[in-house]
Amino acid sequence: MKRQAMRDGVITEADTCREFVTPRLVEAGWGAAPHAIGEQRTFTNGRIIVVGGTVRRAKQKRADYLLYYRRDYPMAVVEAKEIGLPAETGVQQAREYAEILGLKFAYATNGHRIIEIDYTAGTEREVDRYATPDELFSRLTAAAPLPHRLHESRLCGRFPIHALRLLAAIASDQPWGAPELGQCLELFVQADASLARDTSHQRLREYARRRGG
Q: What CATH topology corresponds to 4-139?
A: tt1808, chain A (3.90.1570)
pLDDT of residue 29: 97
Cα-Cα end-to-end distance for the chain = 58
Give the global pTM.
0.63
Distance CA 72, CA 182 (A): 21
- Are 142 and 134 contacting, i.e. CB atoms less than 8 angstroms apart? no
Supply the mean pLDDT for the chain: 80
Q: How many CB atoms lie within 10 A of CB 198?
A: 18
Q: Which parts of the chain have pLDDT scores under 50?
A: 1-8, 45-50, 55-58, 143
122: left (phi over 0), alpha (psi -120 to 50) or beta: left
Three-class secondary structure of residue 44 per DSSP: coil
- Asked if residues 61 and 98 have their Cβ atoms less than 8 Å apart, the reply is no
Intervals of CATH 3.90.1570.30 along the chain: 4-139
